[in-house]
Amino acid sequence: MNNQVKLKSDKKLSGEIKILEAIGRLEDAMIEDAPKQEGTILAMRRLMAAVAAIAACFVFAIPVLVKEIPTVYRIIDRYVPTLADYIIPDELTDEKEGIRMQVEAVQIEGGDASLLVSFSDLPGYDRISGKVDLYDSYNLSSFGTDTSIGGCSFLEYDEQEDKAYFLINIIGDGKYAKEKIQFTVRTLLTRVSALEQDIPLTEISNDPVLKEVEISGSGGGVRGRELCSKLINGRVATVIAISEFMDMDDLDRDDLSVTGIAYADGILHVQSCRGSEEGAERHLQLILFLDGEEYEDGMGVCWREVVNGEEIIFDEEWYAVSPEELAKSHLVGIFHIADSPVHGDWKVITRIE
């Protein structure tokens, strides 16, 4: 697939409207100032008929243009107005596994790229019905330049069009060559949910069994890292042992759950398991409130353990609070789950003028 893409903005639309306005003024002037001679009147009538025909073309063309891409303009105006000059009028799509991927707009400057991409059902399929997830499986490349850092944001689902819109921002490992651009998405997670619920702090272990694990990642602000520094040393962290709270064999690889809560040495530990990453993306977003105010100096780590022969991912959040503060605390968890994968390997290849 090799499409010649012409980038077009709404400047053309505004230009057409100005032409219409000019035609209207010209026609009024002709009527007011037309000479009375018969030959001149006949010539003017012919000219006005031609002008009217041209005007009719524009009158019919403008509503058709607006009708074709109203949602794209609305999405861009609401979320990414900087892409207004980079809408692709011709469809740039790939259809696989009952889903159409369409690149709606693209802007590339050097090694930076922004793409507005949509996903919709093909006739006879019902896989897109709301928010979807790209599973970090997208890539942009051209002549040796590849995606280096990327981030995608779900914008909204348009029920009337049955389209889910994404904004993707990418930084390449070099300058993208516009002569041949390839954008791919390997997997789409078609079922996405977020459930918010209170997590009770009434039954907390005050003398937990701790263990050391080799972490695969960590997060938190400078203040949170300072307060919890005694629990982490390089790639090694001290966490609560899961076996104290539950049988490891009972862990569900397809589930997201809290596996233990403990308080030790002035730090609240909240541990969760997000199962396997195969065909799904899960994470628990925790929010701790102290006297009604959100606590922002927490820190978190994640690691992997083999359970029943399969690698499972765990997370633990740390909050440095006093016993008095803990007694007035309230913990909320938002359980984010994206699964039901569709492996389409969608791909579009084009050039940007």
**pLDDT for 45:** 52
**pLDDT for 270:** 97
**pLDDT for 64:** 35
**pLDDT for 5:** 35
> 329-352 and 3-5: which strand pairing?
parallel
Phi, psi (rounded to 5 degrees) for 167? -110, 125
Distance CA 49, CA 55 (A): 10
Neighbouring-strand partners of residue 156: 165
**pLDDT for 203:** 85
**pLDDT for 244:** 66
Burial bucket for residue 215 (CB in 10 Å: 0-12, 13-18, 19+): buried
Average pLDDT for runs of 10 along the chain of length 353: 37 40 41 45 49 39 41 80 72 94 91 93 95 93 82 93 94 87 94 95 91 95 95 96 76 87 96 91 96 94 90 96 95 96 94 77
CA atoms within 13 A on the CB side of 34: 19
**pLDDT for 247:** 75
260 three-state secondary structure: strand
